[in-house]
Amino acid sequence: MNTPKYDKLIFEISKSGRKGYTLPPNDVPSKQITDLIPEKHLRRTPANLPEISENEVVRHYVNISTKNYHIDKGFYPLGSCTMKYNPKVNEVTSSMPGFRNAHPHTPEEFSQGALELMYRLADMLNEITGLKATSLQPAAGAQGELTGLLMIRAYHDKQGKPRKKIIVPDSAHGTNPASVTIAGYESVNVKSNDKGTVDLDDLARVIDEDVAGIMLTNPNTLGIFEEQIVQIERMLRDVGALLYMDGANLNALLGITRPGDMGIDCVHINLHKTFSTPHGGGGPGAGPVAVSERLEPFLPAPRVVKDGERYRFNYDFPDSIGKVHTFFGNFGMLVRAYTYICMHGPEGLRGISENAIINANYLLSKLRDNYELKYDAPVMHEFVLSGSRQKAMGVRTMDIAKRLLDYGFHAPTIYFPLIVREALMIEPTETETKETLDAFADALIKINEEIKTKKDVVLNAPQTTPVKRLDDVKAAKEINVCYTE
């Protein structure tokens, strides 16, 4: 059987002598390349590049792109990751020449538009979070976490009372313990109660004068709101500790409640999760950090300030932890987030969270009879089911996730959070229609029926994808690097 031409590697369809470009005759004086580049930096042999005509190159990469799954192609129910749709108006504004062509070394007097946008965005995030000030520098949520922890460390050092420990609930995001360690703290775990929220008795057990703060995800990774936040805040304040909130789930809170009103001192904001900037592929990202008055002096410098009708960078913050990113973060992401916030306005932002909550609860209502729900409590924007019943029949959550691919859906987050065995963590976001949610729920319900009647189909899934069932353990242990000499 012949392999379709566009399922081959680009090197396999290469033919000597073909090219996808033409160049005009040289009309300037010629020079030897060694006159321009030192010989030690030149190749000894020509680069091994495929030789293909222009239309073949286009067809090859268009064909490959159709094999990828992405938010423009289908539903992404990744719990915790908030894979929401990216409005195309964001691309229009971020592509405006004044923003697209801005160079980080451009003098302030020629960057007033960019500086004003950053100033306004920070002010908007202050209002949304209910906090005093915001830094736009961090380039991702995890870097925002580290930035917040470094500010907490600087705060306690300034008080003359350095501390050693950060409390991390077992329902926290997976990056939290890593950030704690990188910041030089000891991570202290706190258990969840039978409602899926922080166990206050266990929290009381670990709180002492050595605790610098707590990293609380709210709503937590179960999608449950930490309704005891007032008691938690009081317990931490009694020992002089600060409250850090992981803002990855801020998409559930917009216009409904604010971290600052809960007593939070610091929150990082994943612009890709809440404000529709591109997500995935390792970047570019943006993870601004908003802080209370306690931490404002320690924000990264420089900060954008307004002097009269002009905007400028201000470096004069003696207690600042310094820079956390080259120049001022990923500016294109800031333009997109600013566009999204302006486009929705206050009522629209609240509507985003309300619709995310409605979608999650609707989807849960359709699935709860078919999959176990360990923590049966009201949920916000996401929820966590368990495949424990299905595992008892010989099918793991991994098998269910792979079978979903045959139904045309990307799998939800699986095996996280760790406090739910065989976890299926599902977040529909606010942008999905009822028809999409119904189709996704129907697929999961059908898979549950298949497990009872034709289990082998599920165990051997996927069958309709470009790459069939892989040996996940082998792939993780034996990385196969493919290259052409």
CA nearest neighbour of 82 among 176, 173, 13, 195: 173
Pseudo-torsion of CA 417, 418, 423, 424, nearest 10°? Answer: 20
Same domain flag for 207 and 297: yes
333/367 same-domain check: no
Domain containing residue 32: 5-67
CATH number at residue 396: 3.90.1150.10
Domain co-membership, 279 together with 248:
yes
The CATH number given to whatever domain includes residue 334 is: 3.40.640.10
62 and 137 both lie in a single domain: no
Same domain, 27 and 136: no
| 99 and 31 both lie in a single domain | no
Q: Are 169 and 190 in contact (CB under 8 A)?
A: yes
The answer to whether residues 335 and 366 belong to one domain is no
Q: Exposed/middle/buried for 77, CB within 10 Å: 0-12, 13-18, 19+?
A: buried
> Could you tell me the two tokens for 271?
């612009």
Report if residue 230 sits inside a domain.
yes
Cβ pair 215, 246 in contact under 8 A: yes
pLDDT in tens, the chain (485 residues): 455 566 788 999 999 999 888 889 999 999 988 889 998 999 989 889 999 999 999 999 888 888 888 888 899 999 988 888 999 999 999 999 999 999 989 999 999 999 999 999 999 999 999 999 999 999 999 999 999 999 999 999 999 999 999 999 999 888 999 999 999 999 999 999 999 999 999 999 999 999 999 999 999 999 999 999 999 999 999 999 999 999 999 999 999 999 999 999 999 999 999 999 988 655 678 999 999 999 999 999 999 999 999 999 999 999 999 999 988 778 999 999 999 999 999 999 999 999 999 999 999 999 999 999 999 999 999 999 999 999 999 999 999 999 999 999 999 999 999 999 999 999 999 999 999 999 999 999 999 999 999 999 999 999 999 888 888 888 888 876 554 44
- What's the number of domains the chain is made of? 3
Return d(Cα 342, Cα 349) in angstroms, integer.
10
Residue 78 falls inside a structural domain: no
Q: Residue 410: how many CB atoms within 10 A of its CB?
A: 18
Q: Do 307 and 375 belong to one domain?
A: no
